[in-house]
A and B are shown apart, each in its own frame.
Chain A
């Protein structure tokens, strides 16, 4: 009896554990050898919404099936960190941030070389892509991604408040400061100016101020310049605007959703932010001030108006994927001239020169925004954060003086210590 019972229980245990294994294996389809399924991972973005709606079209014409995963920015980044790190082939096509993760991914060999693929189809036309975005998705002479969304920093402002104060749209940083001051003083519960304040989040938007004051994060030899006179002035100016004319209880945690919320709730007169987010301000469902929002190019500093002009997102193929050709087919379709035009009309500024040249490409944009974009594209700078491998850490270092300046601490001393830390960081990356 004893012997039989042992056998019986052992069999049940084995069956159970096998059942569990079978469940585990069934959920993830690891059969990736050029399968008819393309697994695409995308970020939550207006661009994604448009592409998602058009996917049946692609499935019909290509005979492939698209399996879509959609995630928030941070979750997306974490997923890549885990999956690509493990060499997983579960992702074929991925939406990534060339300036944030591009260098690290390319260095780690996560991105497939697309050089021959982009040049093989003249109808799709790689030459049509703007130079800055192409540079950002190229690593060591190899094309590793196709840009899909471009961004420039522009000035969002409230037409009604400016009119009431009898002010013109500011053209220079000095005028911006004076206008912010005037409006804040005239309206008790309205801030003159709002922008991102979080140490890391603010860096990208601060960059345009830095360039317009004549500075940059590094010089041409790759040495830190965050304590140059120009940089110190820029830190003092950006932080000062927020400290003196910003919202009453300003926090040092704001990224774009928080800053945008203050602007769209009608609690600020000026706001500097990426143009690709403009729909949040002009959509009556999301914005209380939709009717009165105006756009202008970034006001000029001592070195002129020099906003960033960057590709914020691109598509790439996972090097570990066994389904690379089909992955490329998806990218080719998603970034075609027609799709880029459709996306741009829906409010996503694209990277294709021909679409910008086409009047249909800007037909849906507010006129002043289209003008601001055109002006920004001309004198724009190709990066909005330090161009390094570990961007996250670099942003925290160069963002320190921004926060110091906002809180009224000694921004100049903060810039000096950030310089030391940043140079140390740059040296460590060279090793």
Chain B
């Protein structure tokens, strides 16, 4: 440890390199402290995005190191005019996210309300509810795939035991997407419960008590007191879960594989882009899909954030 240098000792001589740097660092400290974070964002977020954007404007395919030609917006035109794979994938992505979100928030709110007031064995119930959350999505996909196997799966055996004919579940062209939504709801409702429960426990009890004194029933108290107060939390839950649901990949890939099944029945934008890159090696086209997908995500999140601001006011 060097003793602190007093200004008097330094007076009259030119500052050394160390002081110069120290001065500089002091002047730029707000940038200096932010630098690691900025580097992190630059390397891990901005660079990949910029690279994807660049690839989407080229005819890159086969190998990303192969010579490519700049083709402007051609990939975007190809993708946007593709009614066989791209638009159905957009539809499936939005359907998947929309239905999953509605189910998860409704169920999540119900469960959170049940867990709100203390009760005996509360700790165990909470642990049990959180269990699906800790499983890896791929493992969850594999597990449900076995359960829903049309011939040897547990689900159909259970139905047979009560006299209901076997269902195609994942293998049906019309039922596959619904089955994967069910799996997503099964896995992610606990997260919504967690967020909403945190919101509920932080609510002040007074408005509720006042309403009770005024003779409001439980239904009225929920819809006119609790729900409006919870709205910001609900929107946070929708925001977090929405981003995740939009980019769901593992469950779909683990259950239906490349292309989202023989009829592309669960092919969302993510699965489609993955197939374009890893199966077809069409990097330019796949990048264009990803950029469009990115814009859809940013757009929907922006709308939700606007809504949250309006609610919070």
Contacts and interface: CB of A to CB of B under 8 A. Distances in A.
A107 B259 contact: no
Interface string B271-310: 0000101111100000000000000000000000000000
A110 B64 CA distance: 12
B313 interface: no
B36 A13 contact: yes
A2 B149 CA distance: 67
B88 interface: no
7 contacts: A10-B32, A87-B65, A251-B171, A252-B261, A253-B170, A261-B152, A393-B279
Given A3-B23, A249-B171, 20 more contacts: A2-B26, A3-B25, A6-B26, A7-B22, A9-B33, A13-B35, A74-B258, A77-B278, A81-B281, A85-B64, A86-B64, A200-B258, A249-B166, A249-B168, A251-B150, A251-B168, A253-B257, A267-B151, A390-B281, A392-B275
A374 interface: no
B62 interface: yes
Interface in A165-221: 197-200
B6 interface: no
A235 to B, nearest CB: 14
A147 interface: no
Interface string B17-29: 0000011011001
A4 B168 CA distance: 70
Contacts of A3: 22-23, 25-26
A120 B263 CA distance: 50
Interface in B130-155: 149-152
Contacts of A115: none
Interface residues of B, number: 37
A267 B149 CA distance: 14
B62 A389 contact: yes
B62 A199 contact: no
Contacts of A109: 63
A253 B256 contact: yes
Contact of A199 (B150, B259, B281): B259
Nearest to A81: B278
B272 to A, nearest CB: 12
A78 interface: yes
B152 A262 contact: yes
Kindly list the 5 A-B residue pairs having the minimum CB-CB distance in the complex, ordered from nearest.
Answer: A251-B171, A249-B150, A392-B279, A108-B63, A199-B262
Contacts of B171: 249-253
A2 B63 CA distance: 53
Contacts of A249: 150-151, 156, 166, 168, 171
B62 A396 contact: no
Contact of A392 (B22, B25, B152, B280): B280
B63 A248 contact: no
A69 interface: no
Interface string A241-253: 0000001111111
B36 A17 contact: yes
Contacts of B277: 81
A197 B262 contact: yes
A7 B63 CA distance: 46
A84 B29 CA distance: 42
A13 B60 CA distance: 39
Contacts of B32: 6, 10
A403 B25 CA distance: 67
Contacts of A403: 262-263
B263 A85 contact: no
